[in-house]
Amino acid sequence: MIHFVLLISRQGKVRLTKWYSPYTQKERSKVIRELSGVILSRAPKLCNFVEWRGHKVVYKRYASLYFCMCIDDTDNELEVLEMIHHFVEILDRYFGSVCELDLIFNFHKAYYILDELLIAGELQESSKKTVARLIAAQDSLVETAKEEASSLSNIIAQATK
């Protein structure tokens, strides 16, 4: 299973963290510090796997961002690599050629997408289309709710004038 997902920028800034195994806040920041040290210092041509505290961390760099997933020792590293790519493609479709800034300003959207992809550290959906459809449906639910709320407040505003 995936123990956590981590997105870190080349400068070591955290862009997304998702924990599927219990880590306390203290452990979390320690993990992030340790791992960014290890991963950011690796040369480009090396393999995408790092052994770390009895687990393995699979990472892949896309532009300025490192996507990392920590998995069990017995898991399939190559598959996780493919999973990271799967996630990136979905993000790319959603944002339209995604860049780091998209993930900074719309970090919650990235989380929503991740939640449609993984639950309990396991893969949920292998179809990019399905994920995109589900996210779009929920986004439109939010939009409708917002519109309703604003028209409601307009009515109230007019009524109380």
- Measured between alpha carbons, how far is 76 from 72 in angstroms, rounded to an integer? 9
Which residue of 64, 107, 154, 155 would you call a contact of other proteins, by CB under 8 A? Answer: 107
- Cβ atoms 49, 58 nearer than 8 A: yes
The answer to whether 22 contacts other proteins (rule: CB under 8 A) is yes
Which residue of 105, 158, 159, 161 would you call a contact of other proteins, by CB under 8 A? Answer: 105
H-only helix segments in the chain: 25-40, 77-95, 100-105, 107-117, 128-159
The answer to whether 112 contacts other proteins (rule: CB under 8 A) is yes
The answer to whether 76 contacts other proteins (rule: CB under 8 A) is yes
The answer to whether 150 contacts other proteins (rule: CB under 8 A) is no
The answer to whether 151 contacts other proteins (rule: CB under 8 A) is no
Helix (H/G/I), strand (E/B), else coil: 6: strand
The answer to whether 24 contacts other proteins (rule: CB under 8 A) is yes
- Measured between alpha carbons, how far is 66 from 39 in angstroms, rounded to an integer? 8
- Measured between alpha carbons, how far is 97 from 76 in angstroms, rounded to an integer? 28
Q: Cβ of residue 50: shortest distance to other proteins, in angstroms?
A: 6
The answer to whether 146 contacts other proteins (rule: CB under 8 A) is yes
From residue 129, alpha-carbon distances to 9, 90, 113, 126, 132 in Å are 27, 8, 12, 9, 5
The answer to whether 104 contacts other proteins (rule: CB under 8 A) is yes
- Cβ atoms 59, 67 nearer than 8 A: yes
Q: Which is nearer to other proteins, 27 or 63 (CB)?
A: 27
Residues at the contact surface with other proteins, assessed by CB under 8 A? 14-20, 22-25, 29, 43, 45-51, 76-79, 81-83, 85-86, 104-105, 107-108, 111-112, 115, 119-120, 122-130, 134, 137-138, 141-142, 145-146
